Amino acid sequence: MEWSTGLLGFVAGLLTSVVTAPVGVSGAVFLLPIQVSVLGVPSPAVTPTNLLYNVVAGPGALLRYWRAGQLGGPLTRLLIAGSVPGVVIGAVIRVFAVPGPRIFHLLIAALLLPLGLWLWLRTVRPTPPRTSHQPSPRATTSLALAVGVAGGIYGIGAGSLLGPILVGRGAPVATVAPAALASTFTTSIVGAATYVLLSLAATGDVAPDWLLGLSCGAGGLLGAHLQPHLPETTLRLLLGTLATGVGALYAVQVLR
């Protein structure tokens, strides 16, 4: 990897983290399209490369939760118990079932389009906190397993999807946030390691681009400590528009 690519990765990780961290969205969600279309990371190596972003960028927030005594607990254990085997399954599916870029571009569109609409609706029409019953432990673990599979294919860990789902089902944000982050960090480590092992048995570009992934993660780690001057409402609308637009572009590209 050329030094210029590493620098671009650092800047990309920094910028995505700066604008996504204040609104509770993982920078990895927006970083992956940049790696695919701008930095030219091949498939399926782009997935573990993106997981490295979470491994490096996540410890800062985890440390803050640990110091506040918010890490651990039953929800964290349930999410990790489901998402860890899920990310392994997702990695195997990515390498052996959907290694090419075409189907992967469709998966990017399938994630970004709903995310963009969700950000818009959450900003324009905020919903009051729900008082419905929280999912049972078995349902929570099953959900974490399914989301872990999706995260292993896409390369975003598990907490990025688990957080909004659990909060929408009535779980308190103060409990969900550290548990989801711990799940993302753990599944990202396991997922990246799984791709490394799979690269020993599979052909093509399977192993992560280590220098690029670490560069992006370093930028994300720094960006998480910086606060933008834009208000949260503006950031949500901006990210919602960006996610919807990028998702639509990938969908059109695949359907041509």
For 71, the domain range is 3-255
Distance of CA 20 to the CA centre of its chain: 11
**Within 10 Å of residue 100's Cβ, how many Cβ atoms?**
10
Max distance between CA atoms of the chain, in angstroms, equals 52
Cis peptide before 129 (omega within 30 of 0): no
DSSP 119-182: HHHHHHSPPPPP-SPPPPHHHHHHHHHHHHHHHHHHTSTTHHHHHHHHHHTT--HHHHHHHHHH
Please state the domain count of the chain: 1
Q: How confident is the prediction along the chain (256 residues), in pLDDT tens digits per residue?
A: 567 888 899 999 998 888 777 666 678 888 888 998 888 898 899 999 999 999 998 888 788 888 878 787 899 999 999 999 999 999 999 999 888 777 778 888 888 888 788 778 877 776 555 555 667 889 999 999 999 998 899 888 777 778 777 876 777 777 888 888 889 999 999 999 999 999 998 888 899 999 999 999 999 888 877 766 667 677 778 878 888 888 888 888 777 7
What values do phi and psi take at 108, rounded to 5? -60, -45
Q: What is the pLDDT of residue 89?
A: 96
